[in-house]
Amino acid sequence: MTTKYIFVTGGVVSSIGKGICAAAIGRILKSRGLTVAVQKLDPYLNVDPGTMSPYQHGEVFVTRDGCETDLDLGHYERFIDIELTHNSNITAGQVYTQLLGEERRGVHLGGTIQTVPHVTNVIKEFMLRAQHEGSPDVVLVEVGGTVGDIEGQPFLEAIRQMRMAVGRRNTFYVHVTLLPYIGATGELKTKPTQHSVKELRAIGIQPDAIICRSDHPIPHSIKEKIALFCDVAPDAVIPMETLSNIYQAPLVLEQEGVGEILVRELNLATPNGSDLSRWEAMTERMANPHGPLPIAVVGKYADLPDAYLSVREALRHASLFHDRDVSIDWVRSEDIERDGPDAWLSHTLGIVVPGGFGSRGVEGMIQAVRYARERQLPYLGLCLGMQVMVIEHARNVLGLTGANSTEFDPETPDPVIDLMLDQRSVNDMGGTMRLGNYPCVLAHGSRAAKAYGTPEVNERHRHRFEFNNAYRETLYEAGMLASGLSPDGTLVEIVELEKHPFMVGVQFHPEFRSRPEQPHPLFREFAAAATHVMREGAQPELPMGNGA
């Protein structure tokens, strides 16, 4: 079958769930037995989001081959249950880096390098490459930003040209817009959508379907009006009300006929029809939990949950496995520094310290670790969360009161976490961390080995610092086991406490591999331990009252 292309653009405003819509379309296609590749085109000028603050960009999602990418790739992986690679994200920064490199090497000697055709060709080649990687039935391409953004223009021009490159019958354009609600008159307005489509058409793209996001029910008359003004078939104006659970998105879009329209318009061969029954059962279980599971996530960016998007989702998946609805208390580690851990953690049943960089708030994280260790509360440390677990143990169990990571105190007398050897010569900041999949061998009989059920695992990394082996023996004698090591035994990937219900720290990011129907084993066991605390009634006073 010829590979078909579906392009998803956004209109009116950003943050309306375009990425979720693209991911949901991917799931709808997969439920019909089709193979799907996904790409995100990001028009910003950074080469990748790895150098951006979470305040700018939210979470940096790491692929198995070590690319630092947009968080939408996390949605794609979770919804479609695929693993993505460098073929799934391109930025304007990458496009221009390639082109200017070619220009310096003389590839375009004698010519003038222009947005059209040179910039658009690089983008087009990137999209066309997706056909050759595993010959997917469908390539889904989401364009970042909103129609009308200056830097988005070459990307929109490139997807317009794709219609010629792969054939009109093989392309489909979906535009996701917002219908604002005017409270005074109680109406949804279509004008911004009309303007956005007009803008798109000025570039030469006529949308084949419009997904209308709204916080209110969308009456039929509004659908008809949009169909009329935007020249889209009435059944291709898809209402999409804000959902309480994003995992319902594929079900809603399917019910609104998106799957049927795509099959019809792209002439897709789907002999077995659609089967979303397992997905539906999963969302029903999510809607009917046996109770809440209060978990505290202690981090520097706790006021910005997008910074820890995959951690949040992994906790949801793991809680669902135990028929619980996770209720996350986002705790700013600096608040713990100011008020002490009791003020912020006394209602929680488990503590997670996620990844992070820089010294701000680290002492509060170390206090949270101590609280979990002393109160026998389940703890899961992710990357930085593992490193602070080691620092806390060295300080408060071994008595090395000045122990630290050289990231936070270069002069520390006990650098229990230190810069990796091959990072010492690194000067550039972008793309130079230890990134992507590396194998890890698990200690027989350890908590980690029991959780995974296999002797060796591959997990995704993003760090420069590591456990200092000079302290491995003494920390072991103090009850901290290095239960996961690189195959050559030199790099500590997992630590765990032997005398604790569940206290595990990992140098990698297991959150990236969690799926709603298949929680990550470490998150699953962490949630199991927290559920156990709840049953034992060890922690009083539910529901929680702080940190909202």
Contact residues: ligand GLN, CB under 6 A: 355-357, 383-384, 387, 407, 462-465
Q: Identify the burial level of 274 via C-beta atoms within 10 angstroms of its C-beta, where 0-12 means exposed, 13-18 middle and 19 or more buried.
A: middle
For ligand GLN, the closer of residues 324 and 463 by Cβ is 463
Residue 292 backbone dihedrals phi, psi, to 5 degrees: -85, 160
- CA-closest candidate to residue 57, choices 66, 65, 48: 48
Checking 125-132 for CB contacts under 8 A at 24+ apart, the result is 126/39, 126/41, 126/87, 126/90, 127/5, 127/39, 127/158, 127/159, 127/162, 128/165, 128/166, 129/87, 130/3, 130/37, 130/39, 130/87, 131/3, 131/166
State the nearest-atom distance from the C-beta of 387 to ligand GLN, in Å. 6
What's at 539, amino acid-wise? Answer: Q
Question: CA 369 to CA 361: how far, in whole Å?
Answer: 13
Q: Identify the burial level of 105 via C-beta atoms within 10 angstroms of its C-beta, where 0-12 means exposed, 13-18 middle and 19 or more buried.
A: exposed
For ligand GLN, the closer of residues 68 and 137 by Cβ is 68
Is 86 one of the annotated active-site residues of the chain? no
State the nearest-atom distance from the C-beta of 526 to ligand GLN, in Å. 17
| 405 CB-near residues (< 8 Å, 6+ apart) | 387, 391, 412, 415, 416, 417, 418, 465
For ligand GLN, the closer of residues 31 and 63 by Cβ is 63
For ligand GLN, the closer of residues 197 and 386 by Cβ is 386
Residue for token pair 């000045």: 402
3-state secondary structure of 340: coil
For ligand GLN, the closer of residues 259 and 355 by Cβ is 355
State the nearest-atom distance from the C-beta of 407 to ligand GLN, in Å. 5
3-state secondary structure of 209: strand
State the nearest-atom distance from the C-beta of 325 to ligand GLN, in Å. 27
Is 440 one of the annotated active-site residues of the chain? no
Q: Which of 59, 256, 313, 511 is catalytic?
A: 511
In the complex, residue closest to ligand GLN by CB: 355
Q: Which of 175, 393, 463, 509 is catalytic?
A: 509
For ligand GLN, the closer of residues 256 and 407 by Cβ is 407
State the nearest-atom distance from the C-beta of 36 to ligand GLN, in Å. 29
For ligand GLN, the closer of residues 11 and 50 by Cβ is 50
Q: Which of 383, 392, 496, 525 is catalytic?
A: 383
For ligand GLN, the closer of residues 69 and 387 by Cβ is 387
- CA-closest candidate to residue 350, choices 402, 390, 396, 297: 297
State the nearest-atom distance from the C-beta of 462 to ligand GLN, in Å. 5
| Local structure of residue 379 (DSSP, 8 states) | E
Is 216 one of the annotated active-site residues of the chain? no
Q: How many CB atoms lie within 10 A of CB 90?
A: 25
What's at 42, amino acid-wise? Answer: D
Q: Identify the burial level of 192 via C-beta atoms within 10 angstroms of its C-beta, where 0-12 means exposed, 13-18 middle and 19 or more buried.
A: middle
Residue 132 backbone dihedrals phi, psi, to 5 degrees: -85, -20
The answer to whether the beta carbons of residues 521 and 314 sit under 8 Å apart is no
State the nearest-atom distance from the C-beta of 515 to ligand GLN, in Å. 21
State the nearest-atom distance from the C-beta of 15 to ligand GLN, in Å. 25
The answer to whether the beta carbons of residues 234 and 227 sit under 8 Å apart is yes
Give me the active site residues, please.
383, 509, 511
